[in-house]
């Protein structure tokens, strides 16, 4: 398959704001894809070479390396490339413009013959992918120069449009505004199947390239047969949030299960024989950070093959008291993990079971999944089920909530025990409801917001950022809508670290997925999530979150926002949604009973 077709499609997508039109455009491309290469096309559109959970190396070419590769490919001085980049702010546009300029300058018979020779050899999808994969695989001394020359060779063979998107891919900024949801829509249209079937398959087997390959080669029926596989993470089930015990019980139904909500790292633990994998809620393989948990799994889990879920919680090595989530970050930074195990010991508290020895439990009710969990786990103080009770009324729920708070927990997770309480992989719904102590604060609720921009600091904050522009996620449009500017709550150390922390995500333009009426001093790719608390939610004429939902032309903002902590365990799309912001605002006013569906003005 010629790569030119992919590049042409990406060019159309870049100019197409409508998600419906983007899905239709992708469907046309997918129909033309060969089953043997459609996975590579999907990965390229996603801006990756393989799913993140595979833990494969990244390309590892920085901006200066891209600049040098363009210089070599086009045989022009590097300072000319740099000069043009300062003007355009996009290496993709730089290489495209230089390529077009060269083509236009070509004249005479010699140039014609040369262009004809170039035209004879077309770049293929497989060739582009294999070259990029080879670049990523190169490690060690001298690899940088080889990477740059391989990229230069690829750019030399590419036409202007192909080169633009190859460079953007390497840079990690395709600028398409196309997310996984739109790709799934395109696949459903292309292969005449239900979007729900595609999404269910993706939630169980989070590899859109592999899903597309199954569809193209075997048809939709292949997706119906997908089951959990140890070693391949499932997308985690997510919880809604509420602060009124009566509302929680009304939505969850009674009796329901109430579990302690630990301030730890959510872990999806896979076991196959003597092999154990541990995946984070973002599907990152974090097995190497927890060798002690691996040992505990091999010791306490009796099933040969299983997938279970729980929370890894840091504890004080002397007192056994719970430590905050941030303590677990030392496990990521420590080179000598065995020292970290001693300094930052952990316990595991389990809450779900998704698969046991060939049996898919994701479509079984929670009560049955928990019976399996109890059956396969030999509990100990360090490795056991999360503390829980079955509640039937508000009094029991409130008493258990207070017990959780007194024990140092964040609050509770209340779960339905009804016949429909299946494991909804990748879905946020009312089968699970978070009931946290933060909901008792001034704003009733903390929220998780995505940093999309920043403002330069003044006075003591000169040289750093004085405030960060934060946004909520709108899953229906795939955009991030601004809620507030956060400038308080940071320690001096936090402030000093901000420029370095955000350097790799810094942009010279507003990201296509960011919806903001405010002009930030600096824009960021929406990647980092932070937890924020405030005095109250209020209407705002300058923020775009829930704009027009309560009053025409007016959004919802947080008054006196304060930074609480970073949330590296959450991806941008797992941040607080615009609908949740709306619900918190309306509850604060006590104006309406919150509907399960979006407001009509949505």
* Largest Cα span, the chain: 89
**Residue-level length of the chain:** 602
Decide: 60 and 136 in contact? Cβ < 8 Å.
yes
Taking the mean position of all CA atoms in its chain, how far away is CA 204?
Answer: 16
411-416 and 428-436: which strand pairing? antiparallel
Please tell me the distance from the alpha carbon of residue 433 to that of residue 246, in angstroms, as a whole number. Answer: 12
Catalytic residue among 40, 164, 261, 436: 261
Cβ contact 482:504 at 8 Å: no
- The structure tokens listed for 314 are 């840091």
Q: What are phi and psi of 254, to 5 degrees?
A: -125, 145
- In this structure, which long-range contacts are made by residues 331-335, counting pairs with CB atoms below 8 Å and at least 24 apart in sequence? 331/289, 331/290, 332/289
Tokens 């109890």, residue located: 374
Distance from C-alpha of 360 to C-alpha of 353, rounded to nearest angstrom: 10
Q: What is the 3-state secondary structure (H, E, C) of 436-499?
A: EHHHHCCCCCCEEEEEEEEEECCHHHCCCEEEEEEEEEECCCCEEEEEEEECECCCHHHHHHHH
Q: Count the neighbouring beta carbons within 10 Å of the beta carbon of residue 123.
A: 20
d(CA 271, CA 274): 7
CA distance 387 to 405: 13
Residue 489 neighbours by CB under 8 Å, 6+ apart: 532, 562, 563, 564
Nearest to 53 by CA among 312, 279, 237: 279
DSSP 363: T
Nearest Cα neighbor of 269 from 413, 377, 341 is 377
> Nearest-CA neighbor of 533 among 584, 496, 494, 493?
584
Q: Token pair 């750019």 is at which residue?
A: 155
The SS3 call for residue 537 is: strand
**Buried b or exposed e, range 469-483, using 16+ CB within 10 angstroms:** bbbbbbeeebbbbbb
Residue 132 to residue 172: CA distance in whole angstroms: 13
Residue 138 contacts by C-beta under 8 Å, 6 or more apart in sequence? Answer: 60, 146, 147, 150
How far is Cα 94 from Cα 186, in angstroms, rounded to an integer? 30
Contact in structure between 494 and 563 (CB atoms under 8 Å): yes
Nearest to 543 by CA among 594, 581, 586, 587: 581
State the Cα–Cα distance between residues 409 and 412, nearest whole angstrom.
8
Query: φ and ψ at 193, to 5 degrees?
Result: -130, 170
Catalytic (active site) residue 68? no
Return the active site residues: 261
């Amino acid at each position: 398959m010629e790569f030119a077709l992919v590049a042409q499609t990406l060019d159309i997508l870049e100019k197409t704001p409508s998600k419906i039109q983007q899905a239709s455009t992708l469907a046309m491309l997918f129909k033309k894809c060969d089953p043997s290469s459609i996975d590579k096309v999907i990965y390229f559109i996603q801006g990756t070479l393989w799913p993140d959970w595979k833990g494969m190396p990244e390309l590892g070419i920085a901006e200066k390396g891209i600049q040098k590769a363009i210089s070599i490919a086009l045989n022009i001085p590097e300072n000319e490339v740099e000069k043009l980049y300062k003007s355009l702010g996009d290496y993709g546009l730089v290489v495209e413009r230089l390529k077009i300029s060269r083509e236009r300058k070509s004249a005479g018979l010699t140039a014609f013959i040369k262009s004809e020779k170039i035209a004879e050899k077309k770049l293929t999808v497989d060739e582009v992918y294999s070259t990029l994969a080879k670049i990523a695989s190169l490690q060690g001394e001298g690899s940088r120069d080889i990477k740059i020359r391989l990229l230069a060779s690829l750019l030399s063979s590419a036409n202007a449009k192909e080169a633009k998107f190859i460079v953007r891919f390497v840079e990690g900024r395709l600028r398409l505004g196309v997310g996984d949801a739109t790709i799934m829509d395109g696949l459903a249209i292309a292969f005449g199947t239900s979007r729900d079937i595609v999404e269910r398959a993706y939630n169980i087997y989070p590899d859109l390239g592999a899903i597309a390959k199954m569809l193209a080669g075997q048809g939709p029926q292949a997706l119906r047969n997908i089951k959990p596989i140890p070693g391949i993470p499932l997308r985690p089930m997510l919880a809604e949030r509420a602060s009124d015990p009566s509302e929680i019980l009304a939505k969850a139904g009674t009796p329901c299960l109430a579990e302690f909500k630990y301030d730890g790292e959510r872990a999806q633990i896979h076991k196959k024989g003597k092999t154990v994998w541990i995946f984070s809620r973002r599907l990152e393989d974090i097995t190497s950070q927890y060798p002690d948990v691996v040992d505990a799994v091999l010791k306490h889990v009796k099933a040969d093959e299983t997938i279970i879920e729980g929370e890894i919680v840091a504890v004080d090595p002397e007192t056994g008291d719970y430590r905050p989530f941030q303590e677990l970050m030392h496990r990521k930074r420590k080179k000598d993990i065995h020292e970290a195990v001693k300094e930052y010991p952990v316990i595991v508290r389990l809450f779900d079971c998704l698969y046991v020895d060939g049996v898919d439990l994701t479509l079984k009710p929670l009560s049955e999944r928990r019976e399996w969990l109890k059956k396969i786990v030999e509990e100990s103080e360090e490795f056991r089920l999360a503390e829980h009770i079955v509640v039937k009324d508000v009094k029991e729920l409130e008493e258990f909530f207070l017990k959780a708070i007194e024990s140092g927990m964040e609050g509770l997770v209340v779960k339905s025990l009804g016949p429909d309480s299946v494991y909804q992989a990748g879905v946020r719904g009312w089968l699970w409801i978070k009931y946290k102590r933060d909901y008792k604060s001034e704003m009733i609720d903390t929220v998780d917001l995505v940093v999309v921009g920043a403002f330069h600091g003044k006075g003591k904050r000169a040289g750093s950022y004085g405030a960060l522009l934060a946004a909520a996620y709108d899953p229906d449009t795939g955009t991030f809508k601004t809620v507030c500017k956060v400038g308080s709550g940071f320690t001096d150390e936090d402030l000093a670290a901000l420029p370095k922390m955000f350097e790799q995500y810094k942009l010279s333009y507003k990201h296509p997925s960011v919806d903001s009426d405010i002009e930030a001093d600096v824009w960021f790719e929406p990647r980092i999530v932070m937890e924020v608390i405030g005095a109250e939610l209020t209407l705002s004429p300058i923020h775009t979150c829930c704009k027009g939902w309560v009053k025409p032309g007016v959004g919802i903002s947080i008054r006196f926002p304060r930074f609480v902590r970073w949330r590296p365990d959450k991806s941008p799309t797992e941040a607080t949604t615009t609908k949740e912001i709306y619900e918190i605002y309306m509850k604060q006013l006590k104006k309406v009973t919150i509907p399960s569906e979006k407001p009509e003005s949505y």
